[in-house]
Amino acid sequence: MTTQKATSILVCGHGSRDPAAIEEFTGVVGALRNLLPGVDIDHGFLELAAPSISEALESMYKRGCRNITALPGMLFAAAHVKEDIPEILSDFGKDHPDVEISLARELGLSDNLIEAASKRINSALDQANEIARLENDQTVLMVVGRGSRDKSALGHQEEISARLGEICGLKHFRTCYASVASPQMDEALRDVVPGRFKRIVFLPWFLFTGVVVNRLQGRFREISDENPAIDFVEVDYFGNHPLVAQTFADRYRESISL
């Protein structure tokens, strides 16, 4: 039988120069507080925004937090989750030996997020079919991830695309990336635009908006304008979807039950 330890939470975000991204992130943190009343919950960023993770930890320490669960606000366990955040937590722990800090799992292969995305895909397809009904084999789903050099992260992104295709009844799906990994989105679109697909469904697998998401959306719309014979369907990233906060809550509960 496992026992649960009372603890506080630090949600570790990546950070962004886009105020809308920060607003979405802090909105999810607020939703997490509603799901876990009575738990001290704070947030910090790796870069590009304040407070930093170290600053947030100091603030929590001054409030009396001595048992902290760090929740990575990232979709996959790549360098930020495996290296950057642990290093920050370790440095803080060396300077504050009376604090116990644990690092929870990344959001990863979350059934919650796959459910949220599949419902958005199906809703977008229903709306598109109200205008022009197409058979599923004429449609290709393009899931666009951030990209990574971490092979396990890329494998998980591929698995997510396959699960979404299966849930949504789509035989054709592609995984592509914003940067670092191949194929990147433009390359993947060049591969499918001249083919037999009459509908391309675009899903950015991102938690929040920001420079990268805005660039991907803008490029997708440009290619859509250049190819009026194809139906381009855009599905939104996660943003403040309630299942994002629920997934953070699930990761927290997993961590304190270990």
The structural domain count of the chain equals 2
The CATH number assigned to the domain holding 90 equals 3.40.50.1400
In this predicted model, what pLDDT tens digit does every residue of 75-112 receive, in sequence order? 998 889 999 999 999 999 999 999 999 999 999 899 99
Residues 191 and 178 occupy one common structural domain: yes
**Does 190 share its domain with 244?**
no
- Please report the pLDDT score of residue 5 as a whole number: 52
Asked, for residue 1, whether it belongs to a domain, the answer is no
Please state whether beta strands 41-45 and 8-13 pair in parallel, antiparallel, or not at all (unpaired). parallel
Average pLDDT over residues 119-143: 94
- Domain co-membership, 141 together with 217: yes
Please give the Cα distance from 166 to 9 (Å, whole number). 35
Q: Verify that 128 and 175 share a domain, yes or no.
A: yes
Tokens standing for residue 121: 């895909």
Contacts of 61 (CB under 8 A, 6+ apart): 96, 99
Same domain, residue pair 218 and 244:
no
Would residue 57 count as lying in a domain?
yes
Residues 230 and 252 in one domain: no
Residues 47 and 115 in one domain: no
52 and 78 share one domain: yes
The answer to whether residue 103 sits within a structural domain is yes
Residue 59 covered by a domain: yes
Mean of per-residue pLDDT scores for the chain: 94
pLDDT tens digits, residue range 9-38? 999 999 999 999 999 999 999 999 999 999
Domain match, 37 and 88 both: yes
**212 in a structural domain:** yes
Same domain for 71 and 115 = no
Are 131 and 224 members of one domain? yes
| Residue ranges in the chain assigned as alpha helix (H) | 19-35, 53-62, 79, 85-95, 111-131, 151-167, 185-192, 211-226, 242-257
Does residue 2 sit within a domain? no
Please check whether residue 42 lies inside any domain of the structure.
yes
pLDDT of residue 88: 98
Sorting pLDDT into bands at 50, 70 and 90, what band is 2? very low
Parent domain of 30: 8-108+240-257
Q: Centre a 10 Å sphere on the Cβ of residue 163 and count the other Cβ atoms it contains.
A: 16
Taking the model in full, what pTM does it have?
0.93
- Please give the average per-residue pLDDT across 136-162, as a whole number: 95
For the segment 165-215, what is each residue's pLDDT rounded down to a tens digit? Answer: 999 999 999 999 999 999 999 999 999 998 889 999 999 999 999 999 999
Q: What pLDDT score was predicted for residue 3?
A: 39
Looking at the fold, whether 103 and 115 belong to one and the same domain comes out as: no
CB 49 within 8 A of CB 14: no
| 3 inside domain | no
**CA 203 remoteness from chain centre:** 12
Higher pLDDT, 244 or 194: 244
